[in-house]
Structure 1
Amino acid sequence: KGVINVTQSFFIFAFVVILVALYTNDVHAGKIVTEGLVSFWSLDRDTISGEKVKDLIGNNHGTISGKPKEVAGKIKEALKFDGASDFIDCGKDASLDLPSAFTYEVWMNPSSAGEGGPKNAGPICKAINGGSWSWQLRYNAPGNNFMGFQFNAGGSVWITVEQKLSPNEWYHIIGTYDGKTAKCYLNGVKKSETKMNNVNSGQDNFFIGQDGWVNVFDGIIDEVRVYKRALDENEIQQNYKATSQLSVDSMNKLTGSWGWIKLEK
């Protein structure tokens, strides 16, 4: 009888250990990378109030110009920009001034193949009025419908996805810099890299939906994130696969009472 009890206890203990291990592994594998996360604009319905857009991590809350429309996003809701007057100004706080190490991340769904001219803008940038700029993520630049980061780093430096993008499809775009090398990723896969000096540090604004000049984005934007370090390829894959939610408080790493972070299904 004692042997049976010991055996039962062992199997119960083993079962609990397995469940805990599976749960812990699933949570660890699923959550987005949070180390170095500076700002996160999910563009979901519950983060937008009138003309204000919440930054779920920092204090870089955005102000809407124009009338971007709420639509189904890659994750929950997103905003559709009209390619004419819609954009979000997230200001120029020092936390967004990252000359020597960064990761810029966005999901985008272009409405057109990119005709150039006023629709030459990608979904995010840090630039203003053409006189001061740090970087831009541009669509159809220069002259072909592909995506590329353009950096002001002792001259204009490009990293691109090196392939044409189709309209009305979702793309996950990331640009990283570790102080030596800039890299561009499309849908979790590295597409190009180049050696680069530090990016110009200026008093330019962070925009969603325009390039700081006169060019605006035509399409849907979702899940904009900024890190103060270069994510590695495993971390980029992790973020690419992130599609569900977890409370910020339960992650025990971030502060804020109303935020939430996406996790992998």
Structure 2
Amino acid sequence: MRNETEVRQVRQSHRGVSNQVTALILIATTLLGGVFAYKVLTGWTKTTTMNAEVQIQRIHATKLAGRRVLVSAKVKNTGSVRLGHTRVTIGTGKDKITLNIGTLNPGQAKSATANKKGDLAAGETYTAAVEAKPTSLMKGLVAWYRFDSGEGSTVHDRSGNGNDGTLYGDPTWVDGWIGDGALKFDGSGDYVAIQNLHYDTPGEISETTIFSQIRSSSSQEQIIAAFDRSEYWRLALMDDVNPYVGWDTHSPSHHHDLGSSSNYADGEPHTVVGWFKSSASPDKKIFADGKEVAQATAHNGEGLGSGATRYGFIGVGSEASSFNGRTGPNCWFKGVIEEVRIYNRALSPREIEMLAGGGGVVARTTEVTVSPG
């Protein structure tokens, strides 16, 4: 039996999405024998840079015994591009409940239901959101880290390849500026060791793109991600050979250091990208905030790699021949990293621009209040 219906109009801006998000929220509450249920219906939003639109058609959550909540949702792809990693979230932080919708073709609607842990209660105000990624940005993705879990010592590889990361030192979970969270490194012993992923063959990297979302105001030398400059590659905000962004690579015959002419350790969020394609000329590029800022023809058609076995780190240099092996140089990152992606292909300038704009489409609502009626 419905006790109360409330309609709200909410507007919110979000980076990487259209400038203004308009959401219509219909909240219907029901009280049945002590079991509280409610619905949230939202409108649509889009990002014009990718012709992507996503619509939450229905969210329904029923409070169960203890901390469990039964959540169901229906989402529709109202745009013209295929979307993947579609998920719906309610709440934030430790109380956040996530429901995975999956892949949506243009025009397709899909429902999902899950029994989740989460302290959602009547009378509280929550955020409901749907997030999706164009599937073109999943092609060639070897490892993908979004530091938004907010807890624990493991960061899961969202590419599906099982290259999870393990946290060492004492990095802290903080709020992000694109997604729900990020990881703060204190510049002294904090890093993430990458599991499973390694290189061991001369010239094996014919193409790669290393994408990062970072923020730092430190003037110290600091590395974003590395599989050893002297053996494969290293991406730094500044390092021992570059005063600003450094994209340092090694092929069977020689190594090459490419640097930007501008400083991005200014306390503001930036995207920093290292790009390589052996068959191209120039074959190396640095992108910052979606724009090319440096290039070079460096390796004369060779792929990257000396043939030594190397595992990688986020937040420090690598000389590791096994998982969580030797670090070095110890140019510890000091700042916040929200995202790191490692591709086995050279992304197009358009794709890099898309990632710099948020990499997806998000419909987000605020002031979603559950009323007991």
**What is the TM-score with the length of structure 2 in the denominator?**
0.53
The equivalent residue for 1:252 is none
Given residue 66 of structure 1, which amino acid in structure 2 is its aligned partner?
A: G
Contact 2:247 2:258 in 1 (8 A): yes
| Alpha-carbon distance in 2 for matches of 1:38, 1:24 | 27
Gaps of at least 5 residues in structure 1 are 1-19, 247-265
DSSP 3-state at the match of 1:24: coil
Provide the aligned length of Structure 1 versus Structure 2. Answer: 217
Q: 1:244 and 1:236, CA in 2 relative to 1: closer, same or farther beyond 3 A?
A: closer
More strand by share: 2
Deviation at 1:30, TM superposition (A): 6.5
Deviation at 1:136, TM superposition (A): 1.0
Contact 1:60 1:91 in 2 (8 A): yes
Q: Deviations over 1:75-115 (max 9, x none)?
A: 22000001101000003525898521111100111131x23
Structure-to-structure mapping, 1:118-133, within 5 angstroms: 120-127=221-228, 133=231
**Which runs of at least 4 in structure 1 moved beyond 4 Å after TM superposition?**
26-30, 94-98, 142-145, 243-246
The equivalent residue for 1:83 is 187
The equivalent residue for 2:289 is 187
More helix by share: 1
Deviation at 1:25, TM superposition (A): 3.4
Q: 1:220 and 1:183, CA in 2 relative to 1: closer, same or farther beyond 3 A?
A: same
Gaps of at least 5 residues in structure 2 are 1-50, 54-77, 84-131, 319-327, 363-373
RMSD: 2.8
- Larger RCO, structures 1/2 (Cα 8 Å, 6+ apart): 1
Q: 1:109 and 1:174, CA in 2 relative to 1: closer, same or farther beyond 3 A?
A: same
| Alpha-carbon distance in 2 for matches of 1:21, 1:45 | 26
CA radius of gyration, larger in: 2
The equivalent residue for 1:52 is 154
Given residue 162 of structure 1, which amino acid in structure 2 is its aligned partner?
A: S
The equivalent residue for 1:208 is 314
Contact 1:145 1:165 in 2 (8 A): no
Q: 1:138 and 1:91, CA in 2 relative to 1: closer, same or farther beyond 3 A?
A: same
Deviation at 1:222, TM superposition (A): 1.4
| Alpha-carbon distance in 1 for matches of 2:309, 2:146 | 24
Given residue 55 of structure 1, which amino acid in structure 2 is its aligned partner?
A: D
**What is the TM-score with the length of structure 1 in the denominator?**
0.72
Q: 1:87 and 1:21, CA in 2 relative to 1: closer, same or farther beyond 3 A?
A: closer
| Alpha-carbon distance in 2 for matches of 1:243, 1:45 | 18
> Kindly, what percent of the aligned residue pairs are identical?
24
1:146 to 222, 232, 244: 244
Q: 1:198 and 1:30, CA in 2 relative to 1: closer, same or farther beyond 3 A?
A: same
